[in-house]
Amino acid sequence: MSLKINERKLNYGLAINEALSQMMECDKGIILIGQGVKSPWYVGQTCKDLVAKFGEDRVIDTPVSENAMTGAAVGVALSGMKAIAVHPRIDFLLYAIDPIINEAANWYYMNGGKLSVPVVFWPIINRGGEQGAQHSQALHAMFAHIPGLKVVMPADAYSAKGLMVSAIRDPNPVVYIDDRWLYGEISDVPEEIYDVPIGKARLVAEGEDITVIAVSYMVKEAELALYELKELDIRVELIDIRTVKPLDVESIIKSVSKTKKALVVDCGWKSFGISSEISSIINENCFDLLKHPVRRLALPDCPAPASSELEKEYYISKKDIIREIRNILR
Residues 151 and 233 in one domain: no
pLDDT score recorded for residue 1: 42
CA distances for 36 relative to 33, 61, 313, angstroms: 9, 6, 32
Residues 176 and 220 in one domain: no
Structural domain count, the chain: 2
pLDDT score recorded for residue 151: 98
122-172 confidence digits (pLDDT tens): 999 988 778 888 888 999 999 999 999 999 999 999 999 999 999 999 999
Catalytic one of 66, 103, 185, 221: 66
Res 53 pLDDT > 50: yes
Residues 140 and 70 in one domain: yes
Q: Is residue 3 part of a domain?
A: no
Q: Cβ distance 44 to 211 under 8 Å? A: no
For the domain that residue 318 is a member of, what is the CATH number? 3.40.50.920
Residues 125 and 66 in one domain: yes
Active-site residue flag, 145: no
Q: Residue 14's Cα: distance from chain center in Å?
A: 16
Q: Is residue 212 part of a domain?
A: yes
pLDDT score recorded for residue 2: 45
Q: Residue 116's Cα: distance from chain center in Å?
A: 23
Active-site residue flag, 66: yes
Residues 22 and 171 in one domain: yes
∠236-278-207 over CA atoms, to 5°?
15
Query: What is the dihedral sign for C-alpha 182, 255, 281, 328?
Result: negative
What's the rounded mean pLDDT across residues 187-216?
Answer: 97
| pLDDT above 70 as % of the chain | 98
Domain membership of residue 269 as a residue range:
202-329
Q: Is residue 309 part of a domain?
A: yes
Q: Is residue 155 part of a domain?
A: yes
Residue at a domain's end among 165, 188, 211? 188
Residues 183 and 206 in one domain: no
For the domain that residue 159 is a member of, what is the CATH number? 3.40.50.970
pLDDT score recorded for residue 6: 53
Catalytic one of 18, 87, 103, 135: 135
Q: Is residue 195 part of a domain?
A: no
Of 318, 321, 311, the closest CA to residue 135 belongs to: 311
Residues 57 and 165 in one domain: yes
CA distances for 50 relative to 16, 18, 34, 45, 249, angstroms: 12, 10, 13, 10, 37
